[in-house]
Amino acid sequence: MLAWYPRRAYASTLAKLLQTMNPIMNLDTSKLSPKAPEAENPPAEKPAPPAEPLNWEQIEDLKKAVIAALCTCFDPEIPVNIYELGLIYDLHVEDSAAVLVKMTLTSPACPVAGSLPGDVQRKIEAIPQVRSAKVEVVWDPPWDKNRMSEAAKLQLGIDDF
């Protein structure tokens, strides 16, 4: 039977356990702490968005920065980033530096259905030039392996491209 632990005690115990297992699992435990993260480092203020509308070249540069951010997001069950997996259906950058992403998931029953879109939005909003970001999950058309890039298929050993 599991004992009931207060949340802070549980977090502290979990942090100690992970630090003990670090040599075995090669985990980065440097950021583990039972303290709230905002108590240690207040969030940095984001620079103000551009006052003037972005021109075509700035929009293209911002789109490349967003794609680079999307390439840091991974489906936990597949070791390929969501952009190469073909989960991003549409990426629109407005001249006001607002970003709209339409994406899907590999399955409606995906275990990260509740968290992955939020992670994607946070990573896009972390780009200094982005004024706002909206991530919309769509299910039509359904995702299939034909949406994957050749690099992703190669990495996963799928040879039907």
Q: Kindly state whether residue 74 falls inside one of the protein's structural domains.
A: yes
Contacts of 17 (CB under 8 A, 6+ apart): none
The answer to whether position 102 is within a domain reads yes
pLDDT in tens, 53-66: 888 999 999 999 99
- Tens of pLDDT, residues 27-39: 454 554 444 445 4
Res 112: pLDDT: 85
Q: Across-strand partners of 102?
A: 90, 136
In a domain, 113, yes or no: yes
CATH of the domain at 133: 3.30.300.130
- Quickly state the pLDDT bin for 42 (edges 50, 70, 90): low
Boundaries of domain holding 19: 7-36
Q: What is the pLDDT of residue 46?
A: 58
Say if 135 falls within a structural domain: yes
* Together in a domain, 80 and 130: yes
Give 70-125 pLDDT, tens digit per residue. 999 988 788 899 999 999 999 999 999 999 999 999 888 888 888 999 999 999 99
In the chain, what percentage of residues exceed pLDDT 70? 67
Residues 13, 76, single domain; the answer is no
Residues 75 and 107 in one domain: yes
Q: Does residue 41 belong to any structural domain of this protein?
A: no
Percent of the residues in the chain that have a pLDDT greater than 90, as a whole number: 46
The answer to the question of residue 42 being in a domain is no
Structure tokens at 121: 């939005």
Domain count, the chain: 2
- Report how far residue 95's alpha carbon sits from residue 62's, in angstroms, rounded to the nearest whole number: 10
Q: Are 16 and 8 in contact (CB under 8 A)?
A: no
Does residue 108 sit within a domain?
A: yes
Residue 12 lies in a domain: yes
Q: Distance between CA atoms of 96 and 131, rounded to whole angstroms? A: 7
Q: How far apart are CA 63 and CA 54, in angstroms?
A: 12
